[in-house]
Structure 1
């Protein structure tokens, strides 16, 4: 059994996200600015082998993969192992920064994603891309798919601890969020259980288009609560899986789940065949 050792930045990100989304406080208007200045992203630069704009998809791997970070995240941290593993399978891999570390209005962030998809498709000549997103990054692309014309351009959408239906943590544990609704993190308010944004996103068809949807969650998730709020409506193109159902001794929670071997195995299964991850697939633990 491994010991959990979280970097200080990851602990802070998890704490800030939890504080921001525990209650559905009145959200700032769509597109509103936060009080945050422009935040730094990844000082080390890109994950090695990721965002190589001369990469050309092969016949075996015709679909580029875009990594989408979560709230308070960036294009590199927590995504290194995922990016390297996907690249090793022969894919062209890309990763973007959006929304001032994912704190800004999600609609605006989805528009940034739309522009990035267009850039990747132009550079690679690919008809479609696949996306692998953590937390907000597993949910925000669904706005692009549903409302910004993205459905024809997305093959797989893999959400890792995605905030698809928000979080339902008790208000008693959240004395700070009501004091700062939307000022520090508009996206946090939008990811609260029952928010106007999520009601709009999830109204009607949760899995539009011919996209294959895979949702990977953890029973130990301390941010997206309950973890099953990451699930999407059942269907032929949808797989909902919890990593402990495959690897009972996994200790990965919201921060560590993108680095988990089971998560990466399920992600690769989704990306390397037609359709979402297979419910019967057993990933390495």
Structure 2
């Protein structure tokens, strides 16, 4: 039998590696990609602080990246998709750990929600809008619920659209069930990457977030999930319960959609079409396999 310390090290590595599946670009190129893309976002209308919402789309859209993502790489496809349709689109970085560039969403999630609160206020002040719509991926689809529930966000947000959000935590395909058998593993993850620890099923953060109901009045909720998700598992745990909730499974819209946790936000135009429907339900069009061309 191996000593527990020798077992703990590979187990922790496995857990962190599984979480890293949510990384939207290869680490060797991420810094260069982010720098180059940041330079072009304003000219394309994304993160253009002079943008004023139209009467057709009166609310700016705030994009919230996932764990190990950032404000650029997560949205290289969806942000232009929305700006080309006339939306003012903004994205932020949150959850930075000291000394860790490019890869965000690792800090305590309640602190990340406070960063979102500040960013939304900046967007409202710049655009003159009364409310925003939020679209988030993975942690970015779940974390805003803390802002809505505990930080006054419900008065400033019309809709929250989550792409593969881990609303009730993840068991990483059962890997987290092994943690109790390895003393110190949970403490190590909590100390090194609190944003990951907060997303494990049964965490204190998630218990607080989901106590008393999943939703708050006045906000429209949409969850867009894929049955091929390998990170926010089981995928059905992403769904919300409430009077104003629309839970969507991509494969019910297009059986040929094989997107998993990363692809749903990075390049899935079927998911993007459903995002557009959620942002403008009055003009929604049926999402099908053909929506990839729209």
Shift of 1:18: 2.6
Query: Residues 17, 125 of structure 1: CA spacing in aligned structure 2 closer, same or farther, 3 A cutoff?
Result: farther
Change (3 A) 1:251 1:15: farther
Structure 2 match to 1:165: 168
The 5-angstrom pairing of residues 1-285 of structure 1 reads 16=16, 18-19=18-19, 42-46=34-38, 47=41, 48-100=44-96, 101-168=104-171, 169-171=173-175, 178=186, 180-235=188-243, 237-258=244-265, 259-273=267-281, 281-282=287-288, 284-285=291-292
Deviation track 1:219-272 (CA, whole Å, cap 9, x = no partner) reads 11110110111100042x210011111111212101111121111010000111
CA separation of 1:115 and 1:243: change in aligned 2, threshold 3 A: same
Aligned length: 252
2: CA distance, partners of 1:159 / 1:17:
23
Displacement after TM superposition at 1:159 (Å) = 0.3
Structure 1: 5+ residue stretches without partners: 1-13, 22-38
Q: Distance in 1 between matches of 2:113 and 2:234?
A: 25
Q: Distance in 1 between matches of 2:192 and 2:229?
A: 23
Structure holding more helix per residue:
2
SS at match of 1:266: helix
Q: Is the 8 A contact 2:45 2:51 kept in 1?
A: no
Deviation at 1:50, TM superposition (A): 0.8
> Cα RMSD (Å) of the superposition?
2.6
Bigger relative contact order (CA 8 A; separation at least 6): 1
Any stretches of 5+ residues in structure 2 without a counterpart?
Answer: 1-13, 22-29, 97-103
| 2:7 alignment counterpart | none
